Chains A and B, each alone.
Chain A
Amino acid sequence: DTAVSQTPKYLVTQMGNDKSIKCEQNLGHDTMYWYKQDSKKFLKIMFSYNNKELIINETVPNRFSPKSPDKAHLNLHINSLELGDSAVYFCASSQRGANEKLFFGSGTQLSVL
């Protein structure tokens, strides 16, 4: 079973559209994250959720909104997509506590045309 799964794997859409990426983890972790990896492979954190509470929001435009219906899911909604949003988005999870490693999803390649 995949520990952290995200869908879709590929997402191609037009500018201005609204889209969502889903993420689920079956590890029982209490913290989930969204990362953005740009074309230069820089990996930047966007959000983390811990017990349904937003912990980090690193200067991300408010067009991006994480939604966590329960501890096992953290979905990413993006409104009014822009060309610069094209990237690979990774979901990840970890267990609260110092020094815990991250488990990553396989990534969603978003292409905005």
Chain B
Amino acid sequence: AQRVTQPEKLLSVFKGAPVELKCNYSYSGSPELFWYVQYSRQRLQLLLRHISRESIKGFTADLNKGETSFHLKKPFAQEEDSAMYYCAPPADNYGQNFVFGPGTRLSVLP
């Protein structure tokens, strides 16, 4: 089964500091991975996906097959980045396996 893990439940950084939210996956093949974000009192929304290779709100994530990781990074954290971040594998052709990682709460301190 496709699984992702997020080892950090809480990550606190100061404004302007670099931030890295860790995500590791445990399946073979060519994974497609997602990062979802949930700001306070808002619905979950897609932040970025591996296949699009785009940077959203200054965040990037590189797939490292050697380390089986898909860490989310931003060089300079902003207070508005404070949120819950979830890493997720893709659904398969039948809509299965959208099983999220446990999530990491990012707190950006002023």
Contact of A31 among B44, B88, B91 (CB under 8 A): B91
Contact of B103 among A43, A48, A97, A107 (CB under 8 A): A43
Residues of A within 8 A of B88 (CB): 102
Q: Does B105 contact A (CB under 8 A)?
A: yes
Chain B residue with the shortest CB-CB distance to A102: B98
Interface size on B, residues (CB 8 A): 28
Please give the distance in Å from A70's CB to the nearest CB on chain B: 17
Chain A residue with the shortest CB-CB distance to B92: A98
Do A99 and B90 have beta carbons less than 8 Å apart? yes
Known contacts A90-B44, A101-B49, A106-B43; A45/B90 CB under 8 A? no
CB within 8 Å of A: which B15-52 residues: 32, 34, 36, 38, 42-46, 49, 51
Do B44 and A99 have beta carbons less than 8 Å apart? no
Do A45 and B93 have beta carbons less than 8 Å apart? no
Chain B residue with the shortest CB-CB distance to A29: B95
A90 to B45, CA, bound (A): 12
CB within 8 Å of A: which B65-110 residues: 84, 86, 88, 90-96, 98-100, 102-103, 105
Do A98 and B99 have beta carbons less than 8 Å apart? no
Chain A residue with the shortest CB-CB distance to B50: A99
A-B CB proximity, top 3 nearest: A31-B95, A99-B32, A104-B44
A→B interface (CB under 8 Å): 30-31, 33, 35, 40-45, 48, 50, 55-56, 90, 92, 94, 96-102, 104-107
23 A-B pairs with C-beta separation under 8 A = A30-B95, A35-B100, A42-B103, A43-B103, A48-B95, A56-B95, A56-B96, A92-B44, A92-B98, A94-B95, A96-B93, A96-B94, A96-B95, A98-B32, A99-B32, A99-B90, A102-B46, A102-B91, A104-B43, A104-B45, A106-B42, A106-B43, A107-B43
